[in-house]
Amino acid sequence: MELTKKGHACVRLTRAGRTLVIDPGAFSEPDAAAGADAVLITHEHPDHFDEGRLRAVLDGSPATELWTLRSVADQLSAAFPGRVHTVGHGDTFEAAGFSVEVHGELHAVIHPDIPRITNVGYVIDDGALFHPGDALTVPERPVRTLLLPVHAPWNKLSEVVDYVRAVGADHAYAVHDGLLNDTGLGLFTRMLGPDGVGVAPTVYDRIAPGTSVTV
């Protein structure tokens, strides 16, 4: 499949002419979900879920379907009957020709005073790729490509390193990096690479928004 970074936590997956988009939020490129056959949302925070943009996509493409957790589905299901599917940990389904497994239940702790919300991650095509959303969920199966949330109010570098090591993917590509400038992006590249603390045998890299790799 072709993986295209669409800014911050959003990626487009394309294969055989069909497209699956994960987390086209407010920090993503405005056209991140345009023309998608299917969309997956990990949780309700606006950097992952932009209701206005997503409604425009669903209005403009009657064949587009959405899979997400209940907190997001409840905001859209009445307007798009039969096209919004509620999922949770342990569920499996097919979207745009991709097989999908749901892993995880809760958003990472931001602060003890802030109530935790639900969050799910998605394993694509029998472990080809995993997007955890806003949590350091270790999926209950091997994965080859990890989309790694490198920077957020709820994580720190030591946790990111330990998470990559625990998942043990072949490759980890940075996501959730929309708040970092070039200095911060360079720091993570150094620290997660062989000249820093390292995450071997996983290879860490970053895809610039708008560019693609094959996974």
204, 172 Cβ separation under 8 angstroms: yes
- 118: three-class secondary structure by DSSP: strand
Residue 79 pLDDT: 97
- Gap between the Cα atoms of 206 and 191, Å rounded: 13
Please list the pLDDT of the chain residue by residue as tens digits (215 residues). Answer: 999 999 999 999 999 999 999 999 999 999 999 999 999 999 999 999 999 999 999 999 999 999 999 999 999 999 999 999 999 999 999 999 999 999 999 999 999 999 999 999 999 999 999 999 999 999 999 999 999 999 999 999 999 999 999 999 999 999 999 999 999 999 999 999 999 999 999 999 999 999 999 99
CB-side neighbour CA atoms (13 Å) of 170: 7
116, 44 Cβ separation under 8 angstroms: no
Peptide bond between residue 153 and the one before it cis (omega within 30 degrees of 0): no
- Strand order in 203-205's β-sheet? 92-95, 98-103, 121-124, 129-131, 145-149, 171-175, 203-205
Task: List domains and CATH numbers for the chain.
Answer: 2-208 (3.60.15.10)
**Distance, C-alpha 15 to centroid of its chain:** 18
Whole-structure pTM value: 0.97
